[in-house]
Structure 1
Amino acid sequence: MPQILSKEIRNRIVSGGENKMYTISDFADLNNDSLVTRVLSRLEEEGMLVRLTQGLYLYPKQTRFGIVKPTPYEIAQAVAGKDHAKVIPSGAMALNELGLSTQIPTNAVFITNGTPRTIKVGNQTITLKRAVPKMFSFQSTLFPLAITAMRDLGAANVDDTMATRIIEILSKDDKEAIKADFLKAPAWIRKRLAPLYS
């Protein structure tokens, strides 16, 4: 039986394709967490998997430049996914995802409706902070990023140029979803983004 399950785990990983992350919970249907843990560890030793952090493994995509590593956002999503939770980039990470900054911070911060935690991946720290449920009620993809980015910058630092750039980005998203989300934003953010609906 262990050999059959071991082969099943290996086959699932291969068939899932490269550049995908796995945790023990991805194999919960096998009802043998201890075996899954041992198999994932063995596959890492064999070089098939790369251990990113405790309990999180990557089936890497190999290129002539080396392994293609997942972004902090992808890692945060994979970790939160273990709790069936969501994450939203916050602060500098939100600015990066919106294309307003090219810098990926050493401490990548995300808000989550799942378990708060801090993860070390190499030299990078990924922090998941618990946020109010309201932040996960938005319909659009970009609006919650804009809110967390603007909150991090602060009202005094969101000048006309920055507000215009954010409006241009938001205008590319689903207009009906943005319209619904607009009403959920803090008053000062609605005021800065008012040209969206002027």
Structure 2
Amino acid sequence: MERMTESIMQVATTLPEGVPLAAKGLLHLGSRAAVDQTLSRLAARGELIRAGRGIYMRPVQTRFGPRSPSAEQAIEALAAQRGETIVPSGASAANALGLTTQVPVQSVYLTSGRSRVLSLGRQVVELRHAPRWQLALGNKTSGQVVRALAWLGPEQATGALPILRSKLTDTAKMELITVAPQFPTWLARLIGKLVHG
């Protein structure tokens, strides 16, 4: 068992900050039960952080002691590792675009994968499965516009159009028009008004 502990920690130390260590990626070291047991033991000792089911991360060492990796780094690494699209929620997008002054209390991201919760130390990050159209333009400004308008809903989204017009480049407008057929009818109509004035 000590040999497996050393092997897992060797793998963990080669990973950049925030990159998750998945139990499935360690099956070359032993059986799933043995890997899970060793990971649990390492988490109990504080050498790894259990972020979610089968997902562990190495704590970041600072001069003030160990801390959890940032949510942004962890989400970015998880998206790359799992092949998922993961983007900030509509509330976060609306805040980033200046459509609301409300700052989301909880970190919520939309994902093409299954819904789940990650624990990064004291920070809890919720991943919610979202329809494909909400993820269509990823982390681009045009993607933020889609998620912000979806979050505002048909009644309030119209009031956001003047603010959005001043922030969008011609490229972003073209991106929105290109993917508009994927959107619900009310949103496709709104995108037309946004782009064509």
TM-score by length of 1: 0.68
CA contact (8 A) 2:93 2:144 kept: yes
The more displaced of 120-129 and 57-66 is 120-129
Cα drift, residue 111 of structure 1: 3.1
The residue identity in structure 1 corresponding to 2:18 is N
What SS class does the counterpart of residue 25 from structure 1 fall into?
Answer: helix
Q: Are residue 181 (structure 1) and residue 172 (structure 2) matched?
A: no
5+ long unaligned stretches in structure 2:
none
**Structural mapping, 1:9-158, within 5 Å:** 9-30=8-29, 32-65=31-64, 67-71=67-71, 75=74, 84-96=83-95, 105-118=104-117, 126-138=125-137, 141-158=140-157
- Answer yes or no: is the 8 Å Cα contact 1:170–1:178 preserved in 2: no
* Maintained 8 Å contact 1:116/1:130: yes
Is residue 108–residue 127 contact of structure 1 (8 Å, CA) maintained in 2? yes
Question: SS state of the match for residue 17, structure 2?
Answer: coil
Unmatched 5+ residue regions in structure 1? none
Distance 1:31 1:154, change over 3 A: same
Secondary structure at the aligned position of 1:106 is classed as coil
Residue 7 to residue 109, structure 1, CA distance change in 2 (3 Å): same
Deviation of 1:36 after TM superposition, in Å, equals 1.9
Partner of 1:171: 169
Query: SS where residue 20 of structure 2 aligns?
Result: strand
Count of aligned pairs: 193
Q: Cα 1:74–1:16, aligned 2, differ >3 Å: closer, same or farther?
A: closer
TM-score, structure 2 normalization: 0.68
The amino acid of 1:70's aligned partner reads S
In 1, the alpha carbon distance for the partners of 2:14 and 2:96 equals 29
How far apart, CA to CA, are the structure 2 residues paired with 1:170 and 1:40? Answer: 46
The letter for the 1-side match of 2:44 is: E
RMSD of the alignment, in Å? Answer: 3.8
- Larger mean CA deviation between 18-27 and 136-145 belongs to 136-145
C-alpha distance after superposition, 1:106-164 (max 9, x if no partner): 3443333322335566666544333333444447733232211111113443466x435
Q: In the alignment, which residue of structure 2 is the partner of 1:193?
A: 194
TM-aligned CA deviation for residue 14 of structure 1: 0.4
Per residue, is there more helix in 1 or in 2? Answer: 2
- Percent same amino acid among aligned pairs? 25
Deviation track 1:15-59 (CA, whole Å, cap 9, x = no partner) reads: 113333222133245463222212222222332212234433221
